[in-house]
Amino acid sequence: METVIRTAQLTKSFKGTNVIKPFDFTLYKGEICALIGQNGAGKSTVFKMLSGQLIPSSGEIQLFGGIGRHNVEARRRMGFLIETPAFFPDFTAEQNLKYYALQRGIVEKNRIAEVLAIVNLADEKRKRFKAYSMGMKQRLGLALCLLANPDCLVLDEPINGLDAEGIREMRNLLIRLNEEKQITIFISSHILTELHLLAKRFVFLKDGVVVEDISKEALQEKSRKQLIVSVEDAAKAVRLLEQNYPSVSYQVLPDQVITIDGHIEDGGEINRLFTMNGVTVREFRAEARNLEEYFLELVGGAAV
Ligand SMILES: Nc1ncnc2c1ncn2[C@@H]1O[C@H](COP(=O)(O)OP(=O)(O)OP(=O)(O)O)[C@@H](O)[C@H]1O
């Protein structure tokens, strides 16, 4: 499988503070991969190192197989949307793109019309940028990324601040670019549920460390099944659990409540195990854990 991005032992420190701990990551052609983390986790720092805006403190970046100065050439095959691009408020969408096309030496005559059509702004191309909605502004940012016909898009929180309709539009657009033009996508968000319908792989970043790298199927499986057991004596129940299910993953919550990952099919047996050994079971049920809860468990803190 063709490798689009590969990082090895990549780190970044600011004034002695290590913000990105060794970050080892490989993105393959055709993937839509989400980088998920709370504010300050280090998502933008990773993206800025990929784009060349920040120089890594140590480690290596390979883009399309190139390293070092060869990445300069490889970056031409990538579109980065890291901070909202500076568009002129009084220029129309078309004028703004023309300005950037000139700057970047893009001379294909129809390219501006093409990218405006791709992001569904063809009918509003003569509107001034300042009159655009947030969703339209984000889509114009994407149009700018697409100008040079990239093979890979790196998008930092492109759905931040969008309403439900804006998120849906952006999602459908990115799925279309991935399916029809085989564009590989690396996208970040601090809200997992916004990306769960789009990405096929999720990399969770906490304090500059990858805490999980998981496919969509595995994530759904993991976040779905959980047994919730309320008992009289949680310590004793946990002892029994560990003795009989050595690889079990569980958490003890307040009020003698235990959550057990998976093991749905063992529910009856676990219930019997407790009661037969003198642990009174007050409540026993299987419950779905939503993706956002899973995310918060992984990275801690509250959703923003
Ligand atoms: N230029 C800089 N100088 C010093 N510290 C920085 C700099 N850029 C980022 N940081 C710090 O690095 C950490 C990671 O920041 P980063 O912007 O990469 O996080 P993020 O996950 O993208 O967060 P957000 O979702 O808020 O954009 C933060 O603690 C931030 O304060």
Q: Residue 48: pLDDT above 70?
A: yes
| Model pLDDT, residue 214 | 93
Distance CA 213, CA 227 (A): 24
| CB atoms near residue 193 (< 10 Å) | 13
Residue 205 and residue 38 in contact, taking contact as beta carbons nearer than 8 Å: no
pTM above 0.95, yes or no: no
Residue with tokens 């047994």: 227
19 within ligand 1 shell (Cβ under 6 A)? yes
Most ligand 1 atoms within 8 A of CB, residue of 35, 39, 83 to mutate: 39
Q: Which of 205, 294, 191 is nearest to 10 (CA)?
A: 205
| Model pLDDT, residue 100 | 93
How confident is the model over 117-128, as pLDDT tens digits? 999 999 999 999
Report the number of secondary-structure helices (H) and strands (E) in the chain: 11, 14
Q: Which residues pair with 66 in a beta bridge?
A: 63
92 DSSP assignment: B
Per-residue confidence band for 304, with pLDDT thresholds at 50, 70 and 90: very low
Residue 20 and residue 181 in contact, taking contact as beta carbons nearer than 8 Å: no
190 within ligand 1 shell (Cβ under 6 A)? yes
**Does residue 262 or residue 103 have the better pLDDT?**
103
Q: How many CA atoms, within 13 angstroms, populate the side-chain half-sphere of residue 85? A: 22
Residue 159 and residue 167 in contact, taking contact as beta carbons nearer than 8 Å: yes
Sequence-distant (6+) residues with CB within 8 A of 303 are 190, 191, 292, 295, 296
Per-residue confidence band for 64, with pLDDT thresholds at 50, 70 and 90: very high
Q: Residue 134: pLDDT above 60?
A: yes
Residue 201 and residue 33 in contact, taking contact as beta carbons nearer than 8 Å: yes
Ligand 1, atom 9: nearest CA belongs to which residue? 45
Instruction: Give the distance from CA 69 to its chain's centroid.
Output: 28
Distance CA 49, CA 75 (A): 12
Q: Which residues pair with 58 in a beta bridge?
A: 11
Q: How far is the CA of 23 from the centre of ligand 1 (A)?
A: 15
